Amino acid sequence: MKRAGDPAAVGVDVQRSSEARLQQSWTANAGAWTEAVREGRIESRRLGTDRALLEAVMSRAPGRLLDVGCGEGWLARALAPHGFEVVGIDGSEELIASAQELGGGTFHVLGYEELTSRPDVVAGPFDSVVCNFSLLSESLTGLLRALADRLTPDGELIVQTVHPFAAAGDEPYRDGWREEAFEGFGDGFTASMPWFYRTMGSWVRELRAADLGLVDCLEPLHPQTTRPLSLVLIARLAHHD
Amino acid sequence: MKRAGDPAAVGVDVQRSSEARLQQSWTANAGAWTEAVREGRIESRRLGTDRALLEAVMSRAPGRLLDVGCGEGWLARALAPHGFEVVGIDGSEELIASAQELGGGTFHVLGYEELTSRPDVVAGPFDSVVCNFSLLSESLTGLLRALADRLTPDGELIVQTVHPFAAAGDEPYRDGWREEAFEGFGDGFTASMPWFYRTMGSWVRELRAADLGLVDCLEPLHPQTTRPLSLVLIARLAHHD
C-alpha cells in the first residue's frame, strides 16, 4: 500500500513525472533544438565536445554506427564522408524529419523503450553505438543492455555526457534529478528538461550492470578555464575486451 | 643530445627529482606519519576514507591481501580479526619497524621497483591487492603490471587515492606533479612531498595499460560538504572479470 509521505513512493512518483516531462521536452523544443545545433549556438559543442566525440568515433575503422538519440542528425552528416554507415534513432518525429531532410544516414522515429523491448528493431551488429548527451533517464540498465546486445564482439559503446565534476555545481555530489533551462541556447525553448545527474561511480556501475566494461574515459577541457567540458565513456562487452 | 630548454628533457628531470624527493619524504616523515595515523589526526581518514577502504575489502570473503605502501600497518591490524592474512610492504625501514611492533600481518621493507623487477619476492597469488593513497608516482605501469601478476584470476586491485575532482583545486584539470605540505597533520613533517596528480581518464588508462579493468568506483562523501573525500578504484584482470 502506498502511504502519503512514503519516501520510496515519492521517489517513484518523481521518477515517473520527470521521465514523462523529459520525453515531452524533446517534442516541445524540437524546432529550437534543431536551430541551436545547426547555428552552432551551444558553446560547449563549439569549444570541444563535438570534436571529442568525432575523434573518439574516428579513432577506429569506419563501420556501422548506431546513433541513439540522434536529434537533427549532425553526427551522421559529419561521419558520412568518412565511410561510416550511420543509423540514427530518436523519439521525436520532428527531429527525425529534420535529420532526414539533410541526410547522411538512415533515421527512424523510435523511443528507447521500443529498442529495449524489441530485439528485432534496428538489429545489430553495430561496430559503434553512440549516445551523445542522450542518456538522461534515471533507469538506464535495460537500454544499455539492449545497446550491448547490438554491438559486434569488439564493438564500442561511446557515451558523451555532462562531466560529473563540472556539473556538480553547488549541489551534493549525488545522483538525482536536475532541471535544464537551455539558457544561452537561443529562443524557442518552451519547456525545461528534467535530467538525471550521475556521479562517476554511478556511470561505472550502470555500465557494469549491462555487462559493459569501461576501457577509456576522455575529458575534453575548456580551452580557457581548463575544466572538463564533458565526459566521454568508452565501453566494451566485459568478456570481449 | 640534451639541449637546455628542451621541454622533454625538462620533463624527465622534473620526474626524476620529484620521484627522488617523494621517496625521501617518507623516510624523513616516518615518525610524524606514524603519529598522525595512530592519533587519528588526518580528518579525511576519520570522516570516511578508512571506512570506505575497509568496506571495499571486507565486501569479499577473507583471503590473502597485499598492502602496497602499508606504512605503519593500520590496515593489517584492522583486518586481522576478520580472518585476512595481510602482507604489507613499504620502502621505509622506520615505518615497517612501527608496523612490526603492533603486528596484525607480515611486513617487509621493499621498494616498489624491487616488486616490479623481481617476480619472486612477495609472490602471489593474492585475493586482494590494496594501494591506500600509496600510488604517488608519475610512472605506474610497471608497478601495476607487477601487482596484476600477483592477483588470483578473480582477485581485486583496490586503489584509494585523492579524488581527481575534489583535488583539482584552482589548477588545470591535467596530470602533473603537485606538492603536499601535510598541513593540519600535526608536527614533525620536515619534508614536503611531491605527488603526481591524475585525472579520472588517466587512472582508467593506467589500469588498462596493466590489463586491469575498472569494475567499480566508490566515492565516499564528506558528511557536511557532500564533496568526495576520495576515489576508490576497484579493478580486475581484464580477461577474467
**Nearest C-alpha of chain A: how many angstroms from B205?**
6
A208 touches chain B (CB under 8 A): yes
Tens-digit pLDDT profile for chain A (241 aa)?
555 567 777 888 999 999 999 999 999 999 999 999 999 999 999 999 999 999 999 999 999 999 999 999 999 999 999 999 999 999 999 999 999 999 999 999 999 999 999 999 999 999 999 999 999 999 999 999 999 999 999 999 999 999 998 888 888 999 999 999 999 898 899 999 999 999 999 999 999 999 999 999 999 999 999 999 999 999 999 875 4
Q: What confidence tier does B132 reach under pLDDT thresholds 50, 70, 90?
A: very high
Q: Which residues of A touch B210 (CB under 8 A)?
A: none
B14 touches chain A (CB under 8 A): no
pLDDT reported for residue B3: 58
B218 touches chain A (CB under 8 A): yes
Q: Which residues of A touch B217 (CB under 8 A)?
A: 200-201, 204-205
Report pTM: 0.93
The total number of residues written for chain A in this structure: 241
What is the domain-level CATH number for residue B134?
3.40.50.150
Closest residue in B to A232 (Cα–Cα): B201
Mean pLDDT (chain B) is 93
Give domain status of residue A43, yes or no: yes
Q: Which residues of A touch B200 (CB under 8 A)?
A: 200, 217, 219, 231
Q: Which of A73-82, B1-10, B81-90, B118-127 has the lowest mean pLDDT?
A: B1-10
Give domain status of residue B122, yes or no: yes
Side chain identity at B120, as an amino acid letter?
D
Residue to test with chain B: of A200, A222, A227, A237, most B Cβ within 10 A: A200
Whether residues A226 and B172 touch (CB distance < 8 A) is answered with yes
Which one is predicted more confidently, B9 or A140?
Answer: A140
∠ Cα A45 A50 A52 (to 5°): 120
A215 touches chain B (CB under 8 A): yes
Give domain status of residue B137, yes or no: yes
How confident is the model over A126-160, as pLDDT tens digits?
Answer: 999 999 999 999 999 999 999 999 999 999 999 99
pLDDT reported for residue A170: 84
pLDDT reported for residue A128: 98
H or E, element range at A41: none
In this model, does residue B2 exceed pLDDT 80?
no
Give domain status of residue A2, yes or no: no
Cell numbers given for A202: 554511478
Task: Find the helix packing angle between A7-28 and A30-38, rounded to 10°.
Answer: 60
In this model, does residue B109 exceed pLDDT 80?
yes
A214 touches chain B (CB under 8 A): yes
Q: Which of residues 131-190 of B touch A (CB under 8 A)?
A: 164-165, 168, 172-174
Give domain status of residue B52, yes or no: yes
B213 touches chain A (CB under 8 A): yes
Give domain status of residue A219, yes or no: yes
Give domain status of residue B143, yes or no: yes
H or E, element range at B82: none
How confident is the model over B164-197, as pLDDT tens digits?
Answer: 988 888 889 999 999 999 998 988 999 999 999 9
Please spell the DSSP secondary structure of B115-178, one letter per residue: HHH-TTTT---EEEEEEES----S--HHHHHHHHHTEEEEEEEEEEE--TTTT-TTS-SS-EEE
A241 touches chain B (CB under 8 A): yes
Q: What confidence tier does B115 reach under pLDDT thresholds 50, 70, 90?
A: very high
- The dihedral through the CA atoms of B71, B75, B80, B84 has a sign that is negative
Give the nearest partner residue to B219 out of A200, A218, A219, using CB atoms. A200
B228 touches chain A (CB under 8 A): yes
In chain B, % of residues over pLDDT 90:
86
Whether residues B217 and A238 touch (CB distance < 8 A) is answered with no
pLDDT reported for residue A4: 58
A55 touches chain B (CB under 8 A): no
Closest residue in B to A206 (Cα–Cα): B216
Distance CA A56, CA A52 (A): 6
pLDDT reported for residue B241: 46
Domain count, chain A: 1
Give domain status of residue A63, yes or no: yes
CB B231 within 8 A of CB B206: no
pLDDT reported for residue A189: 94
Alpha carbon dihedral B47, B51, B53, B58, in 10-degree steps, equals -170
What is the residue range of A119's domain? 7-237
Cell numbers given for A48: 570541444
